[in-house]
Amino acid sequence: MSVQLIVFVLYFLVVFAIGYLSLRNTEDETDYWIAGGNLGWLVGGATLSATHTSAGTFIGTIGVIYTAGWSFGWLILSVVFAYWFMAAVLAPRFTKVKQLTLPAFMQTRYYSKAPRGVAAVIILIATVVYIQAQIVAGGLVANVVFGLSPTTGMIIFTIILLLYTMIGGMIAVAYTDFLQLIIMVIGVLVSVPLAIRQFDGFYNLLDFARAVNPITFTWDGLPGTLLFTMGLAFFLGGVSTPEKLTRLYAMKDMRTIRKGIFFTIILVSGINLLVFLLGVASISLFPLLPTGDLAMPLVAKAMLPPFIGTLMLAAITSAMMSTVDSLLLVAGSALSEDIYQTFFSPASSRKRKLTVARIGIFIVGVIPLILVLSGVGKGELVQFIVLLFTALMASSFFMPVIGGLYWKRATKEGAIAAMIGGLVMTGGWKLFGNTGIDPVLPGFICSGLLLVVVSLMTPPPPEEAIEPYF
């Protein structure tokens, strides 16, 4: 049995064991969706960091740096600012009323089931887009590591994710995220020094990359307007994506949240900087790849010793799994809590709710696989699929969430218009707009205008809806 196979088999056995133990500790839907709201800063910060660090980091970021050079790496600054904003501005008011889901917040703040239903549908649409990127990356890793066809790899990857997420809920996701984060950190800490040693020093690494691709350390790889608006997408999406917002509900209190987010900033910044160096190394090692998304798996397999390379590939797999399990949970809650229970069966038993939740997770996990196998999104770099998801979430939710927390006059009609308008504008811009501007900008502007204009044209919200947040 090969080293790669042994490491991956052991890794997945541990993941399934955590899922099983989590099932035994899951007593109700609060445990299933937000781990009882009792996570400490260490596990809470780790699961937030692991959720952020996805295939977009290990496959996508390296793929874009391989193609367009270092300019993309500067976007990490927008991520740091996003987490500061989350801790300092959003969380203190957002967590005053603890909910199970982001759409549940929409119902409470906007005094109607309608905003909750709209938010749930948007989450389902955008989640399908994001999971596609992770499934594609899973197929690439399986192809490089085990020689499986990308199709077979994508199917196996999806099955594993569905099983442990459906079984254990947020408790399983939180503790598998903690495990996966440890593997990611070890993977990059070990891999980067070995990569530098391949070139006999850091400066030689930079010289080799510059010689292979002259635009590596220039601003010519991506248009300035695209870089700026992608940074805006990372900031707005980092604040308002539902899988991150529910982590705020999962942590004990504001002190825990602040410590957890500070821990997240340190981890996410460090991992991204090390991944950037691996991206630069991949330019010199593999100058003629058909797609930049192959760079990281090939670096891990060809450059590193067998055990370390396998550890790095396990880290890549961990990054993908830690994000997809969180999104599956968010999508499952959208179907179970925000659509089924809210609109069709409010008096469902706990057992029925969890059954519907697991069915929802299964459906949302299978649909992206079917779309990928059908050729949807074929040829798109993983990072740009991730950016589309981020733009959809940001343009749909940033203004209704922040506006709802800091503007008393925001109404349910304004929130619904903002969510739908932001989603439609973002999707339309992606299909028909200027490719030099990320679709988050027009989507965000449209959402903000609709929130303000429609709210001022409709009756003000009742006092009981805004009182808990002000």
- Write the pLDDT tens digit of every residue in 57-90: 777 677 778 778 888 877 778 888 999 999 999 9
Which 3-state string (H, E, C) describes 101-166? CHHHHHHHHCCCHHHHHHHHHHHHHHHHHHHHHHHHHHHHHHHHHHCCCHHHHHHHHHHHHHHHHH
Quick check: helix, strand or coil at residue 292? helix
**How far apart, in Å, are the Cα atoms of 228 and each of 63, 292, 327?**
19, 22, 26
For residues 426 and 442, the answer to whether their CB atoms sit within 8 Å is: yes
Tokens in use for 102? Answer: 């982001």
Q: How confident is the model at residue 412 (pLDDT cuts 50, 70, 90)?
A: very high
Please tell me the pTM assigned to this model.
Answer: 0.81
CA distance 259 to 256: 5
Q: Tally the C-alpha atoms within 13 A of residue 229's C-alpha that lie toward its C-beta.
A: 23
Q: What's the chain's average pLDDT? A: 81
pLDDT at 171 over 80: no
Q: Which residue has the tokens 């008393």?
A: 408
Least reliable range by pLDDT among 348-352, 376-380, 395-399: 376-380
How far lies 463's CA from each of 110, 172, 414, in Å?
A: 11, 39, 17
Look at 76-85, 200-209, 315-324, 394-403 and tell me which has the smallest mean pLDDT. 315-324
Q: Which residue has the higher pLDDT, 109 or 196?
A: 109
Q: What is the pLDDT of residue 39?
A: 82
Q: Is the pLDDT of residue 404 over 80?
A: yes
Domains and CATH numbers, the chain: 3-379 (1.20.1730.10)
Closest alpha carbon to 137 in 242, 348, 294, 338: 294
Q: How far apart are CA 236 and CA 224, in angstroms?
A: 18
The Cα–Cα gap between 33 and 365 comes to 17
* Most confident among 10-24, 269-283, 320-334 (mean pLDDT): 269-283
Q: What is the pLDDT of residue 397?
A: 94
Whether 130 has a pLDDT exceeding 80, the answer reads: no
Q: Does the pLDDT at position 116 exceed 90?
A: yes
First-last CA distance in the chain: 61
